[in-house]
Every structure is written in C-alpha cells, then in structure tokens.
Chains A and B, each alone.
Chain A
Amino acid sequence: MAIWNNYGMKRRHFMQHMATAAATIPAMNFLSHVQANASTVANNKKACILMWMGGGPPTIDIWDLKPGSKNGGEFKPIDTAAPGVQISEHMPETAKVFDNLNVVRSMSTREADHGRGRYYMHTGYVPNPTVVHPTFGSVVSYEVGRERSALQIPSFVSVGGGSGQAGFLGMAHAPFVVGNDGQIRNAPDKETRDRLPGRLKMLDAVESNFIKSKRGELPSAHRDVYTNAVNLMTSHQMAAFDVDKAEPALGLEAETAATKAMYNPMPANGQAGGMMGRGNGFGQSLLMARRLVQVGVPFVEVNLGGWDLHNDVFNTLKNQRLPVLDRGISALVTDLKQRGMLDDVTIVWMGEFGRTPRINQNVGRDHWAASWSTMIGGGGLKNGQAIGATNADGNRVADNSKAYQPGDIWATVAYAMGIPLNTVHTSKRGRPMKLANGGTPIKELIG
C-alpha cells in the first residue's frame, strides 16, 4: 500500500485512482450534442474574462452620455483612442485604450429585476421554472474546458461569486467561487494531503452503492465534484490564484510591484490597494484572472458590485465606482496587450441592466432594461467601435439601430473563442437548447 503511505509526490497514482473512479460513472452521454468542428477548439488559448457589475451600472453615465438632454446628468463625454467614440470623463485611462474595446449602446433586455436580469444576462434565457439554464461560463467550461486535458483547476472561475449555475450541463461545470484575495479556503495542509489517497479509496468503496441505487443524478454529480476538487488540491496550477507565486513551468512569474501597482495603485498614504469605498479588490481580481487565463482557464468572471445607485449616483460614481473601474479595465487591456494575449482573450463588461435615463428625486437612477450599454473587446474582434445607439434622451434604442440581447453578446464571444454557433445542448427533459439562445454575433465586430 505504498500509494498512500508516501504519497507526497505521486500525483499520478492519484489521478489513476480517480480515473478509475470516473470510469465507473456512465460518461455524461445523456448530455450529448452535435458539435461541428470540435477540432477548431482544441489547443487554442482562447478565453473570456467577464467583468460583472452587480447591481446594474448606470451606463448612461459611463458609455453613452447624453449631454444636452434633461437626462444627461453631471458628466461630460471625452474622446477616446477609438476615433469618433466618446465615453465618460471619469474613464480617462480606459479612453486611452479604447481602440481595443467596443461599446454596444443598443442593448434592450426586458428584465429589470436583479434576480431575473442576472439570470438573463448570464444565460441568454429568461428564467423558466422548469429548467435551469447554464450561465455562459458553464457553457464555455463544457465546450472548451473539457478539451483542455492539461487543465487541472476548474475551467470556470468566478472571483467574488454569484455568477449563476451550470444547470443541465452538470455540477462539474459550475463556477468555482473564490474571494478576490485568491485564497482557497480549506486547502489541504501536508498531513491532510498525505492521507488523501487512502481516504479517497475508502470513499470510492463507500459511496458507489448509493450511486447505483437509482436516486437521480445528484449522487454521481457529487463524485464528479470531488474529482475536480482533488485535481485542484493537488495541482501546481493553483499558483495562478496567488499573485506572489512563481511557477516557471507554467509561465507564471511572481507579479512585480509595478504590475500590481498598475492594477491597484498605491494611494498617497502608502497602503496597498487603498482605493476608497468598496471594490478595491477589483484590480487584484483582474490580475488573478489574467494568471488563470495564462494557465488555460477559458472563462473567468470578476465581480465588481455597488452599482445599485438609487441615490446619489453622480458623487458615488465620480468618487468611488468609476476610478476603480477605469483603472481595472485599462490595466487589464494594457497587460494583456503587452503579453500578446489580447487577441485571444475576449473581455465582456455587463450588469443585470442599465439604469433609468430619468434622474429620480434622490439624485439616483432606478432599474432600466429597455436601452442601455455593454462593453466588449479584445478577442481578435474588430475593435474600437460604438455599436448601435439610443435616442437623444437615452430612453429608447434609436430608430435606425438594431437592438441587442445578451444572446448576441454571448454569440459574439462564442465566435471569438471558436465555439461553433450551431452547438445545441439538451436539457434534462430532452429539449434542445441553442447556444446563447440562438443569438447572432454582432456583425460589425466580426467583420
């Protein structure tokens, strides 16, 4: 029984053991789908980083300003590196790299409740009581993550949490939620790690009867998740979560002070990451996202909350939210570009919905889904554009403009990542589900 006794280095045994365990589970064929050109996905470095703006950002004050309208608010637009595209004066750093990004100004998404909007924007589908649609990160995990056999950590990481469920694609594709410090809670210490092989052997023996006992798929999903957890625990790729750790074989270096400062600048008082207000972990999270992409994670979601600005919208934006956001976006774009990764990594920025063009009596803006903006860029797209438009007061998509749904954004991401657009998944009930709810890539972006 040497396997568990001096387990230390012997990850391979471990994997063999887990592989045998996995083989006893009927492969997830019931989810089978027709996938054209699967080979185009293999061996690429494509990834998507989603910046999720929890609460619903006031895009009328960020990407689609309305100077001269009664809804215009306090901010002025400024020019960007993309000719003819203007954004908020409080996004100056982002403006400088905007030739790598695009704004889609004619989102029209019908769901203005947090829970429903979160679901719709993440999945492309409106909530339905009889089915749980996979959030798009889970779709990428399923389509791309499975192909990356060298990837030992989860193929969908959510920094800061709350990104939805894997639904009918299975628990193994659920987001792996970590805090923005990258700390993995309950990671094993040496003793626990040494005892793991023996324990897992016992576990395998103890729980296989229950899996075979016809009680639905939860018991076998439990085993899949354990397999992923064990892979994670024993992998060198864990270094991706720790910005101070080098793992040369994986191309990871310990991040320099300069890089860290670019994402998360030192304020005058010298305290690291001392941006005021909530969200000062945003830069650190994006840096971690870049490292995760480097080791092959195809989908990382980074959360920045605090956008539910029913009150005092302008002060909060100007003093708290936008400085954090501006710095984060520009650092990520600059860093990815310097490393030659920007053409492979699609950046998406969105929240549940936008906010009312009308300014309410509390100098706030309420929920608004009828006409708002998302941002998308990198990924080898035709960048530096403003797609679509709203009318002069911002409360409708302009007459000559095509209205976009989240499915169109995700279809664009799928296109950029090489996921075939005719991919169809099958719900547990046997209903065919089109990729991104049948959305179409945005024509101007894919050229």
Chain B
Amino acid sequence: MKFVPKWTLAVALGASLAVLAGPGTSGLRADEAAEPDPSQMSVVEAVNHFIKVGYEDNEITPSEPASDEEWVRRVYLDVVGRIPTLEEAKEYLEDESPRKRSVLVDKLLESPDYIRNQTTIWTNNCIGRGTPRRVSRRGMEKFFREAFAKNRPWDEVVVDIVTAEGHFEENGAVNYTLAQLQMPDDAVQLTAKTTKLFLGMQVQCTQCHNHPFNNWQQAQFWEFNSFFRQVRKVDHRKTDPNTGRQVDDYSEVVTRDFNGPVYFEKRSGLMQVAFPKYMGKEVAPDAFDRRKEFGKLLVAADNGETPLIAKAFVNRMWGHFFGYGFTRPVDDMGPHNSPSHPEVLDRLAEEFVDSQYDVKKLIQWITSTDAYSLTSQYGEDNEVDDPGAGEVPLFSHMYVKSMQAEQLYDSLIVASNAHKSGRGGWEAQEQQRRRWMQQFVVAFDTDENDEATTFNGTIPQALMMMNSELIDKAVSIERGSFLFETFSKPGSEATKMQELYLAALGRRPTRSEANLAQRMVRSYGAANKAQAYQDLFWALLNSNEFIFNH
C-alpha cells in the first residue's frame, strides 16, 4: 500500500487513544471506524472523497449535476475538441442507459478526433502556433498522431522527445528540440522549456541567479543544461533544380561529441562549473549520450517517489478538463506554489504511473469524477468558488472555459455540416485550419519564441465571428449546407428550429426561447424567411453560450 495519507495515521492514533480510554467511549470508536479510508478506495472514489472534504472544509455545497445537454457538449469539446454533431447530440440524449456517460467517453477516446485534438494541443505546446523557422510542423504532428493513436505510454513519449535525433520529418520528435534552438544560446531555451513543459517547473530565471522564491539554485539550471549541450541543429540546403538557387532543405538534430563541464557566471562575476546532474543524481560527464541518461532519470521512480513527469502531466490534464489545474499556472509547480488539492494530485499521479502512464485511463478517471459531472451554474452556497476572481479552485461546479481557436474552428465546421461535404484528407484539413489560425497569432519576437493570441475574447475574435468568410459559410443556405438540408427536409418548423439550437448549442430551446425565436422569425415576413433563419443561426453561433465551454 503506497498511499498512506497523513490523516490515516491520525485516525489510527485516535483509535488507540479510544482503547486506552476504556469502554465508556465506545461511541467515539464507532464514529472513527465509520471514517472512510481513501487508500482502500478506487482512484475515482478517492478523488471524489478528497474534493468533497474540500467542500466541507470551506462550508460550501456543490452545484447540481449537469444536464445531459450541458454534459455532452462539454465532453465532446474536452475530449475530441469540437461540439457534437446534431446526430451525435441526439443519439446521446435519446440513450437511456444509466452508464451512458462512461460509454460515451470510451467511444470518444477511440475516435480519430481524439487523436487530432491531442495532436493539436501537444504540437502547440511543443512548437507554438506560429511554426518557428526550420521546424516541420508536419513532422511534429505525425509524431503525436502516432503516439496518441497507439495510446503510447506518456513516459515513452517524453523520453522520445527529449532524446530525439535525426531528420525533422523522419523522426518528427526532433521538432520540439529544433523549435527551442532558434538562437545559438547554449541550449538555455531548451533547458527552460523542457523543465517547464514536461516537469512542470519554471526555472528560466535561475539561468542568471538563484530562484527568488523556490529552492532552485543557479547551479541546478546549468546542471540541467549540461544534459543538452551535446545537441546540435544542422540546417541542410539544396539546389533548386528549376532556378539553380540554394534553398532550404531539411533540418536535423545530431549529437555532438562533448563531455566537458558547463561554465556559468555568478552574479558576483565568479565563474563556476556545472556537470550533468538531475535532482541530486549525477551522471558521468563522459556519458556517451547525456540526453539518454536524462531520459532514464526522468522516469526513474526511486524511493517510491512519483516521477515529476507524471505529476506535471496530471496537473496539466486536470487543468484541461476543469479550466484550472491544482497549481496556477499548471507549469509552475514546486514548494513555492502549493497545490490546491495535493492528495488528489498525488493519488492521480501515482495511479497514472501504475497504469504505465496510460493517457486514456487518466482521461477516463477525470471525466468520471463527480466534480466533472457538475453543472457550470453556481448557487449561493458555492458562489465563493470563483477561481476567475483569484480564489483557490474547489471544483464545486464546472468552470466556464473559453474555446480555443482550433476548437471554435472545428465546432463551426461541425455545426454547419461542412464536415460532410468532402474537405480532402487530414493534411488538407489541417492546412486549411492552420491558415485560418494564423490571423490570431501574435509573436513576441524574443529568443523564447513565445507568442500570444488575439483569439482571446476581444474585438478581433468578435469581428471574425460576426463577419468572416467562415461564418458566412456556416450560415449559408446553399445546397449541402446545414440550413439548406434542415429546411428542405419534411417536418414542422418548430422541429427545425429545435435542430438549429441542437446543432449550435447541443440542446433544445426552452418553450419561451422557442416562442421568442418564432416571433422574431415571423417579423421578417414570409418572403424573408430564409434570411430570418440565417440570422437566427448566426445569432446562435455568435452567442456566449456557443463560444464558451461550460
């Protein structure tokens, strides 16, 4: 039994005191015995338990469970990165099986859209949305597509990425490294990004000085950095047969012969040396391939400690589903930033390791927690649970999340039936979406290659939703469009109006909404009915309820 939380000891102690106190206190003993023991619970039960303890400690009551309509839209967006199609929403809502939620999650995890969604997320995490120079987005995507399609254990994926070498399309994993080697910076950026993305720790400041608030030292940064100093990026050129000019060919990562120490300068001006060392564990400086040694150390579970890559991944994944992880931000863990629910984080991370880093299992656990099933509406008894205002999240209701640009794009495609008319293969679709994405990317123009997005709920996003070609297509009434198909079918207008709501919001309109919508459509006059429905669908797609994942 690996999992012995502190309070189990307290219970044991309490029980023995009760024995000492003699028979008069048997009532107390019965109470203590009824106290549940999380270590005996399944992972989901344990998570539910600890989160409930949080409600009790903060004297709040969680919200009600979400309706099927609310939940189905949410789970599609979170797992496959888009809203459900009209048919999918209907199928789920009509299903009466009591286990339908977990059945749906299992189904979604087997769908190609799950692979696409995770591929998008991790490609963005690794190389950003605006692909840096001499990096193959295609290669990176191919790597992740295979990884998520086969549900490869996450530890293997990470090790592959941090140790990758070779051609940027033959071994797509190298693109992560290429993207961090945009400047000759002694692999500083690669060190900082690897620590942040895969270990959930921000150490970039310690390049120049000891960390101001956690116990990272400047020397540690350079010890980490020592693992990456054998890495070299080679950009190949070739002659264009048509023009005879030299043009870019492929890039690759190679391992160079380097076994010396790394030198760095203290604030005082003193020069220091650092050798490869990971969390106190040293590697012989003449190790043939230091990154391979680093990979081994990343996954080593010495003394029963959960490897950091597991915790970092669990925290990030929880944040993906709830909008907030256990720390803020999800990639700044450490003693200076204690997690909101340490027991939940620890338990999930341990079980994740025990499951051989099974990503799908982790998603199944998270989506079957009580917390994930709650509505996003809060009440008086839990309105203090507002992480948006800076409070520690208690997960007593679902938090409203803004759709990512890719989610929005894919959802508009689905809502407007564009997915049915042939859009070419995976590659063509990816390219279309990528081109569309570029309008929102703002590069910061620094050595870290960091970027921001104007797809952040501000005016550019609103203008795109109101006026763009994408939205014109979505509300098109041409043959093959969603509106055309819906209104050329037999059936009552009331049913068709419902379908508009279902397609956009994953739910039917309430009676008063339906009445209001009918009145508005009527006000356009019989001759303009098509326009009226176009405008209604436009309004549904532009509504807050559409753009938010709730």
Interface residue ranges, A against B (CB under 8 Å): 1, 54-56, 112-116, 118, 129-131, 154, 160-162, 165, 171, 174-177, 184-189, 192, 195-196, 198-203, 205-207, 209-211, 213-223, 225-226, 228-229, 232-233, 278, 303, 305-306, 308, 310-311, 352, 362, 366-367, 427-429
Contact = CB atoms under 8 A, between A and B. Distances in A.
Contacts of A202: 517, 520, 535-536, 538-539
A423 to B, nearest CB: 20
Given A177-B458, A229-B463, A427-B390, A222 B450 contact: no
Contacts of B445: 54-55, 278, 303, 305-306, 308
A229 B205 contact: no
18 contacts: A55-B447, A114-B450, A115-B450, A129-B332, A154-B459, A162-B442, A198-B531, A203-B543, A207-B539, A214-B377, A218-B400, A225-B457, A225-B462, A232-B463, A308-B445, A311-B183, A428-B390, A429-B390
Given A129-B337, A305-B444, A306-B445, A215 B378 contact: yes
Nearest to B386: A216
Contact of A223 (B468, B535, B544): B544
Contacts of B121: none
Contacts, number: 204
Closest 5 CB pairs of A and B: A305-B445, A428-B389, A161-B442, A202-B539, A130-B390
A185 B444 contact: no
B5 interface: no
B61 interface: no
A111 to B, nearest CB: 8
Contacts of B379: 214
B: contact size bracket: 35 or more
Contact of A210 (B524, B525, B532, B545): B545
A54 B379 CA distance: 44
Contact of B329 (A129, A192, A209, A232): A129
Given A165-B456, A188-B467, A210-B543, 11 more contacts: A55-B447, A114-B447, A114-B448, A162-B442, A177-B442, A203-B543, A205-B516, A209-B510, A214-B377, A228-B462, A232-B463
B327 to A, nearest CB: 8
A194 to B, nearest CB: 11
Contacts of B389: 427-429
B439 interface: yes
Given A113-B205, A206-B543, A225-B462, A187 B467 contact: yes
A218 B548 contact: yes
A306 B445 CA distance: 6
B25 interface: no
Interface string B537-550: 01110111101101
A186 B535 contact: no
B400 A219 contact: yes
Contacts of B454: 161, 177
Given A218-B402, A229-B459, A205 B535 contact: no
A277 B400 CA distance: 43
B469 to A, nearest CB: 9
Contact of B523 (A1, A118, A186, A222): A1
Contacts of A226: 462, 466, 542
Interface string B162-187: 00000000000000000000011100
Contacts of B94: none
Given A221-B457, A429-B389, A185 B464 contact: yes
B204 interface: yes
Contacts of A196: 466
Given A118-B444, A207-B545, A210-B544, A185 B388 contact: no
Contact of A171 (B400, B446, B458, B545): B458
Given A202-B538, A308-B445, A219 B548 contact: yes
Contacts of A174: 456-458
B457 A222 contact: yes
B540 A188 contact: no
Contacts of A217: 388
Given A129-B329, A185-B439, A362-B184, A207 B377 contact: no
A115 to B, nearest CB: 7
Given A130-B390, A171-B458, A205 B517 contact: yes
Contacts of A203: 538-539, 542-543
A130 B460 CA distance: 27
Interface in B313-348: 327-329, 332, 337
Contacts of B208: 112, 366-367
